[in-house]
Amino acid sequence: MADRFQYGFIGCGNMVSAIIQGMISSQFCPSSQIGVSSRTQSRIQALSKDTDIVAVQSNQELAQKSSIIIVGVKPAQYPTVLHEITSSLHSDTLIVSITPSFTLAQLQHMIDHKCHVLRAMPNTPLAVGCGMTAICAPDDVPAEIRQKVVDLFSSCGRVEVIPETLMDVVPAASGSSPAFFFIIAEAMADAVVMQGMPRQQAYSFVAQTMLGSAKMILESGKHPGQLKDEVCSPGGSTIAGIAKLEEMGLRGTIISGMNATWEKIKEMGKKTE
């Protein structure tokens, strides 16, 4: 394994760029140990500026030269790309799928059971070292190889190892939900702008408050409802705002959005069965 890239990426879009940015910022491994192949070279060139990341000319060459291969293409491209690289895989290669659309069994079938496969579900905040990644690995993945994947994602945020039965839930919980938080932040900032604050300042206030509130949930050990109560003075302005949000169906709307994400994941999985 020594003369191969430690980590090879196929595709260089939003999610792969976020992972590589996180790895580079945290100095997780020498950038010369990261190989990337993609259909379009421009994103690789942007990422490899000021680093030693290696642009590899084809997916097969990348597969041949990498110990751990993170497949970062869209779900529709997975069958083609995995079929394309199958003959280049070594028996000790590990494929990491980051798409919610295929089970471990489906992925193994696509590569004719040539090597180990593991599933991860990261999110774009990995780019700033504050990601959340779920990992599920079958028992036949050797512990030291599984640990290399845990270490990679831990270098850019939190990691939880979960059973495959929970993987469909993760996109709503953390994979897709950054988009939900961005919309909420934008809407909150719109209101603040309406009330007179300059837009950049409004984003700064809202985003810092989201960050601090998230840290309180993670670090205080308190129930989110208790933390909410601690902000609400009797007869005060916060509870007036909350009453309005409840009247407009905030909780039900959020639960419906999360469930729509989950339903879509299940539908996408069924299509590929």
Ligand X SMILES: NC(=O)c1ccc[n+]([C@@H]2O[C@H](COP(=O)([O-])OP(=O)(O)OC[C@H]3O[C@@H](n4cnc5c(N)ncnc54)[C@H](OP(=O)(O)O)[C@@H]3O)[C@@H](O)[C@H]2O)c1
User: Residues interacting with ligand X, by CB under 6 A?
Assistant: 10-16, 37-40, 43, 59, 72-75, 77, 81, 98-100, 121-124, 175
Residue nearest to ligand X (CB): 13
Task: Yes or no: say if 23 and 6 are a contact pair by the CB < 8 Å rule.
Answer: no
Question: Rounded to the nearest whole angstrom, what is the least distance from the CB of residue 39 to ligand X in the complex?
Answer: 3
In degrees and rounded to multiples of 5, residue 22 shows phi and psi of -65, -40
Give the count of alpha carbons within 13 A of 245, CB side only: 13
CB of 25 to ligand X, least distance (A): 18
Using an 8 Å Cβ cutoff, are 241 and 228 in contact? no
Minimum CB–partner distance for residue 75 and ligand X (Å): 5
Q: In sequence order, what are the residues at sequence separation of 6 or more whose Cβ sits closer than 8 angstroms to the Cβ of residue 95?
A: 69, 71, 82, 89, 107, 111, 115, 116, 117, 118
Q: To 10 degrees, the CA torsion angle through 140, 31, 99, 170?
A: 80
Choice between 59 and 67, CB closer to ligand X: 59
CB nearer to ligand X: pick between 72 and 202: 72
For ligand X, the closer of residues 40 and 147 by Cβ is 40
CB contact at 8 A, 156 and 22? yes
CB of 234 to ligand X, least distance (A): 41
Query: Residue 97 Cβ, how far from ligand X at the closest point, in Å?
Result: 8
By beta-carbon proximity to ligand X, the closer residue of 59 and 108 is: 59
Q: Looking at beta carbons only, is 73 or 167 nearer to ligand X?
A: 73
